[in-house]
Amino acid sequence: MAAAHRCTTTDMTTLPFQLPLIAILRGITPAEVDAHVDALVEEGFDAIEIPTNSPDWEQSVQRSVRRHGQHACIGAGTVVQPAHIDALLRSGGRLMVTPNTDPQLIQRAVAEGLLVAAGFATASEAFQALRAGAQLLKLFPASIHGPALVRALRSVLPPVPLFAVGGVSPTTLASYLSAGCQGAGTGGDLYQPGQSVQTTREHARAFRQAYLDYSA
């Protein structure tokens, strides 16, 4: 298994991925994961999340780490219990993404050296996650709250990386970035269970181009 260095930074310039778009492969199976992650990495994605409600997710994380762990930050999403952290560590993953703010879970993951993207929906939850040690904040579900909340939060939050997740598409990505997000989690508009590798590739290319167009 590829060795993984530990992540403790809150500085976007030193996060363990270059493209601030986390690919969320909810529902992918171990039999499919190699080809889809290969395509994502080839298209420039270097942050991969496999949610824990995917079939045999630990095996998929492990396979992805073995293939791409040296040049991509790979881990699990929908992490909601200590057993998920244990499994993630066994798999060699180094990214933990939560849908909610659970200080004890965040503290445990940070103590283990994981990069934690903590889900939140309010300013109180955001500050709670930061106090627990989260290095990255995940506004979820972003499509419900919208860029207006991002803009309001940016007036009070410290300069911690803030990602929008949930309903973000290549068309709407720029609105979140311009409001103050540094990146996004790309879910259903990137990957749906059973889709072809070529579709994953095309969607990844569209997201990456949308980010590059905004950053130009």
- Note whether 150 and 165 are within 8 A (CB): no
From the list 32, 43, 49, 58, the catalytic residue is 49
Q: What is the C-alpha separation between 57 and 111, in angstroms, rounded? A: 23
The closest of 46, 57, 47, 112 to 79, measured between CA atoms, is 57
Q: 38-42: which pairs have CB atoms within 8 A and are 24 or more residues apart?
A: 38/67, 38/68, 38/197, 39/197, 39/198, 39/200, 39/201, 39/204, 40/200, 40/201, 40/204, 41/68, 41/71, 41/72, 42/201
Q: Are strands 162-165 and 47-51 parallel, antiparallel or unpaired?
A: unpaired
Non-local (6+) Cβ contacts of 5 within 8 A are 16, 94
- Let me know if 42 is a catalytic residue: no
The amino acid occupying position 4 is A
From the list 32, 43, 58, 138, the catalytic residue is 138
The SS3 assignment for 119 reads: strand
**Triad 104, 108, 110: Cα angle to 5°:** 115
| Residues that are catalytic | 49, 138
